Amino acid sequence: MIEVTNLTKSFGAKTAVNDLSFKVKKGEVLGFLGPNGAGKSTTMRMVTGYFPPTSGQISICGIDMLKSPEQAKAKIGYLPESAPLYDDMTVAGFLRFAADIRGFKGAARKEAVEKAIETCFLQKVAHQSIDTLSKGYRHRTCLAQSLLHDPEVLILDEPTDGLDPNQKHEVRELIKTLGKDKAILFSTHILEEVDAACSRAVIVDQGVIVANGTPTELRETYKSDSLHDIFRKVTTLDTAA
């Protein structure tokens, strides 16, 4: 569903992503982990077609992102970090607006909006102004817009960042449920997300992959029950000389 091959992105003399390769299959939730500045968001933006890579290939459901970007993007639901919302709209109004942009009309638009509201448990606030929502409900509204077209692939950039423990639990459970029939790639620097929502994890540091495997495989490879210890072992500390 998602196939990234030898992906590299340079900004002048700085190489933010360096020769990354990985796959995400249908029914798989891949946690994309790493410290701040590791290249996670840059990778996500290339996978979604927002940034062109310096080199490498990206395939979404067998479609080449570089050669056929419109067809590839149509397969993706994308939740960017700090996703924007229109505060003067209601939740339902915002989702109708997003559905219009995606080309939904009439009964199809109504059905898509209602399904997204139900999937993200937004019924209670559907007719509430976005500027009155808690951060948790704002996150869910952003996630709902990425699901309107029932995409085969979901790309989620820091979907639980800034949420309280209850809200994080709700979003993780939703990701697990959605991951049963979609390919999901989501970035995080929260180690608990791996056990809570991921079937597999990739850890990146300074633009390269330093670990790749299921939570069990990572623990066996690095002879540790603590994902925090594994993370610290394979990534560079900010305080390192």
Asked if 37 and 53 count as a contact pair (C-beta separation under 8 A), the reply is no
**Cα gap 8→18, rounded to integer Å:** 5
192 and 135: one domain?
no
pLDDT of residue 83: 79
pLDDT of residue 84: 83
User: Residue 5: which CATH number?
Assistant: 3.40.50.300
pLDDT of residue 95: 97
Q: Which residues of the chain have pLDDT under 50?
A: 239-241
Output the 3-class SS for 3-52.
EEEEEEEEECCEEEEEEEEEEECCCCEEEEECCCCCCHHHHHHHHCCCCC
Amino acid of residue 164: D
Question: For the chain, what is the domain count?
Answer: 2
pLDDT of residue 238: 55
Q: What is the pLDDT of residues 154-200, one digit of tens each?
A: 999 888 877 888 888 888 888 889 999 999 999 887 888 888 889 99
11 and 35: one domain?
yes
pLDDT of residue 237: 61
157 and 236: one domain?
yes
- pTM of this structure: 0.89
The beta strand positions in 190-236, using DSSP E, are 200-205, 208-213
pLDDT of residue 169: 87
124 and 142: one domain?
yes
Structural domain span for residue 115: 82-150
8 and 71: one domain?
yes
127 and 176: one domain?
no
